[in-house]
Amino acid sequence: MSEQMTQYMDNAEKVLLHTYNRFPVTFEKGEGVCLYDTDGKKYLDFASGIGVMGLGYGNREYADALKSQIDKITHVSNLFYSTPLYPAADRLRKASGMDRIFFTNSGTEAIEGAMKAAKKFGYTRDGVADHEIIAFNNSFHGRSLGALSVTGTKHYRDPFEKLIPGISFADFNDIDSVNALVTDKTIAVIVEPIQGEGGINVATPEFMKGLDDLRKKGILLIFDEVQCGMGRSGSMFAFQEYGIKPDILVMAKALGCGVPVGAFALTEEIAEKSLCPGDHGTTYGGNPFVCAAVDKVLEIYERDGIVAHVNEVAPVFEKCLNDIAQSCECVEAVKGKGLIRGLKLKDGVKAADVMKKGLEEGIVLLTAEGNVLRMLPPLVMSAAEIEEGCVKIKEILM
């Protein structure tokens, strides 16, 4: 590491609020599925900005669309329409199978909107505002006070209690634990079909069917697909693999492929009986710049068969990870599907240490709860590049 990079990081730590334990590298540019630091070192990216850079780096068509929009207009507020707004919303409506779209600036904001929509629906239907929501242990939905209220990871929540009341936590993939929490005040269940931060835990079909059955009791389903959506699971959205449609869907990350944008989508029934003018808003959300990005991302996904590509390379990824698990005694289990994967490590090896060693060896990795080494490569990564990365991981773990 050069003196220049060290000095840059030292200077940054003097002015930034210390809420991140950043790893010792300063990235300068990206190309394809690789990142480059300020010393010119190349890194194979198995993190994609925590699942954001679905199209990788340097996609010329995407960049040109954003440059073109900058030359036109970047913001007008939601008091008016803009030309990219409808195309982006309509593409997202079709891709998700939902009916109504609300654009936000992040996944956390989209969670906030989804929770408000559910509670307003309950208020409209029942005339009371004391409804309850069931969430899950090991879940992660964001860091605002509202999103933290449904995040089932104790160390995130403890410093900020008391949070929103009326939230209870069931065990993921245990429908009996959900049913035990249902009361006549329960308005919604919020769940990630694949828990990301919580350890790359995939919902079983039986569990999802059990959640769907709760609709008979008037309980809404909110699916958080901020991390597992946008093609990462092998479907455009993971819920589509279960044959179950949510009442409210939350998305972000690869929705903008680098531009900060999120969204929540509702069925027509929920939209008609929940949020109305004055109930919810955002100054920046859905501005012309981010909508130009969303529109172009979804166009590229559809035209270039991004989801089909994920399904082509996913078996290679799974095979490589299974080989690592069989060869490395420190690996307890292979987790995930599609291009959202994890290796659960035994207690003797810390995932964070493997992540740090990965940077030294030129590969960017992530961690998750439960001592899981998490991998979220760009969705355009080739089979050969996946194999290359897995060779590096295997060498680190041997």
Task: Say whether domain 61-304 belongs to CATH 3.30.70.580.
Answer: no
Sheet containing strand 363-364, edge to edge, reads: 27-31, 34-37, 42-45, 363-364
Asked whether the predicted pLDDT for residue 271 surpasses 90, the reply is: yes
User: How does the average pLDDT of the chain come out, rounded?
Assistant: 97
pLDDT confidence of residue 1: 84
pLDDT confidence of residue 388: 98
| pLDDT tens digits, one per residue of 96-155 | 999 999 999 999 999 999 999 999 999 999 999 999 999 999 999 999 999 999 999 999
| pLDDT tens digits, one per residue of 297-329 | 999 999 999 999 999 999 999 999 999 999 999
Average pLDDT over residues 174-197: 98
Asked whether the predicted pLDDT for residue 294 surpasses 90, the reply is: yes
Q: Helices 383-397 and 306-327: crossing angle, nearest 10°? A: 20
Q: Which residues pair with 45 in a beta bridge?
A: 364
pLDDT confidence of residue 398: 86
Asked whether the predicted pLDDT for residue 67 surpasses 90, the reply is: yes
Q: Which two tokens stand for residue 318?
A: 């799974």
Residue 27, burial from CB neighbour count under 10 angstroms (0-12, 13-18, 19+)? middle
pLDDT confidence of residue 395: 97
Query: 3 vs 210, which has greater pLDDT?
Result: 210
Count of CA atoms in the C-beta half-sphere (13 A) of 246? 28
Identify the CA nearest to 116 among candidates 85, 151, 150. Answer: 150
Query: Which amino acid is it at 342?
Result: G
Residue ranges of the chain assigned to CATH 3.40.640.10: 61-304
How does residue 85 score in pLDDT terms, banded at 50, 70 and 90? very high
195-190-249 Cα angle (round to 5): 90
Average pLDDT over residues 333-356: 97
Q: Considering the entire predicted model, what is its pTM?
A: 0.96
Average pLDDT over residues 30-48: 98
Q: Helices 306-327 and 288-304: crossing angle, nearest 10°? A: 80
How many whole angstroms separate alpha carbon 105 and alpha carbon 115? Answer: 16
| pLDDT tens digits, one per residue of 205-225 | 999 999 999 999 999 999 999
User: For every residue of the chain, which 3-state class applies, written as one string?
Assistant: CCHHHHHHHHHHHHHCCCCCCCCCCCEEEEEECEEEECCCCEEEECCHHHHCCCCCECCHHHHHHHHHHHHHCCCCCCCCCCCCHHHHHHHHHHHHCCCEEEEECCHHHHHHHHHHHHHHHHHHHHCCCCCEEEEEECCCCCCCHHHHHCEECHHHHHHHCCCCCCEEEECCCCHHHHHCCCCCCEEEEEECCEECCCCCEECCHHHHHHHHHHHHHCCEEEEECCCCCCCCCCCCCHHHHCCCCCCEEEECHHHCCCCCCEEEEECHHHHHCCCCCCCCCCCCCCCHHHHHHHHHHHHHHHHHCHHHHHHHHHHHHHHHHHHHHHHCCCEEEEEEECCEEEEEECCCCCHHHHHHHHHHHCEECEEECCCEEEECCCCCCCHHHHHHHHHHHHHHHC
Q: Which residues pair with 336 in a beta bridge?
A: 341
How many whole angstroms separate alpha carbon 318 and alpha carbon 341? Answer: 8
Cis peptide before 162 (omega within 30 of 0): yes
| pLDDT tens digits, one per residue of 42-62 | 999 999 999 999 999 999 999
Average pLDDT over residues 340-362: 97
Average pLDDT over residues 80-85: 97
Identify the CA nearest to 182 among candidates 210, 204, 148, 208. Answer: 210
Identify the CA nearest to 48 among candidates 35, 36, 58. Answer: 35
Average pLDDT over residues 364-376: 98
Q: 91 vs 73, 98, 104, CA distance in Å? A: 21, 11, 16
